[in-house]
Amino acid sequence: MRDAFSNALVSAAKQDPKVLLLTGDHGYALFDAFRHACPDQYLNCGIAEQNMVGVAAGLAKAGFRPIVYGLAAFVPIRVLEQIKIDVCYENLPVTFIGDGAGVVYAQLGTSHQSTEDIAALRAVPQISIYSPGDRFELTACAERIMHNPGPAYLRIGKADLGDIHSAPLSNWSNGDLIAATNTGAPFLFVATGSGVKLAQKVAAALGNADVISAPCLKPFPELSLRTLAKGREAIITFEEHSIYGGLGGLVAETLMGHYLGTFVRVGIQDRFSEICGNYTYLMESHGLAPESVEKRIRKALDASAQLQQ
């Protein structure tokens, strides 16, 4: 997915010399291709993220199309006020890239993890929110963002989990949820970002479940979800984000008054990461290992069945 991200940046910059990439002193090889192809469109703003957003806002007012890159713990969380006032209030065409969202930076602790970025930005007017699950979704989201005249946030989580789709999403639009599997099964799994891979693993173990990916969280495809939800016995959401204010909240708000079946939100519970370890270990500590999630869902389904007896 990182190669797709790099390719999307280079492609956008080559097509439009007004596209500028701003980073907060990230010297990653991720940007080598961009610096080689478009050296005059790359700005290192230093470790001063709030100022970087102000610079991006000024450049946008001057007719440029800035792309602001940072770790999701810093962009958007550290710069939320600047995103709100400097960019969104004036509806400027600035794109924010939050890399390493969720608990990807497991060894670095809570200061470098971001499980609240979707919730924080959902309440800010004007900004679109994208959360791709694989390279094909990332490319499609990048294309949508470049045609979006306002602010946008692209959330990138664990980048090496593998593909969800087998080909580019040539016909995808913001108004669609994307079927990873959709056969009319009794259970509907709605997932975003790295949560799609988790949903696929749990669906394979549980059976009777269709997996749907939601790469666009704002504006959210409400009509598409309500159509897919009809007749389902259970709906489960999957996200590497807090269960509050993210995909789970979006689905609950959308289906309120339209769905009365079993509903489960799979995500980060209301707590910080209090231990360190690698990514897999930390996901397990948050109860997000496939086996733990499957057990939890089975328990919820059994409880629902008993209530109906």
Q: Check residue 249 and give its pLDDT.
A: 97
Q: What is the pLDDT of residues 156-170, one digit of tens each?
A: 999 899 999 999 998
Q: Check residue 183 and give its pLDDT.
A: 80
Q: What is the pLDDT of residues 106-144, one digit of tens each?
A: 999 999 999 999 999 999 999 999 999 999 999 999 999
Pair 292, 242 in one domain: yes
Mean pLDDT of 248-266: 95
Pair 151, 186 in one domain: no
Report whether pLDDT(309) > 70.
no
Residue 33 to residues 10, 234, 261, Cα–Cα distance (Å): 7, 45, 49
Pair 150, 195 in one domain: no
What's the number of domains the chain is made of? 2
The helix-helix angle for 222-229 and 247-255 (nearest 10°) equals: 70
pLDDT category, 2, cuts 50, 70, 90? confident
Pair 134, 226 in one domain: no
Considering the entire predicted model, what is its pTM? 0.96
State how far the Cα of 32 lies from the Cα of 29, in Å rounded to an integer: 5
Q: What is the pLDDT of residues 41-87, one digit of tens each?
A: 999 999 999 999 999 999 999 999 999 999 999 999 999 999 999 99
State how far the Cα of 82 lies from the Cα of 22, in Å rounded to an integer: 15
Burial class (CB in 10 A: 0-12, 13-18, 19+), 284: middle
Residue 165 placed within a domain: no
Whether residue 102 contacts residue 241, with contact meaning beta carbons closer than 8 Å, is answered with yes
State how far the Cα of 259 lies from the Cα of 10, in Å rounded to an integer: 44
Residue 160 placed within a domain: no
Pair 95, 190 in one domain: no
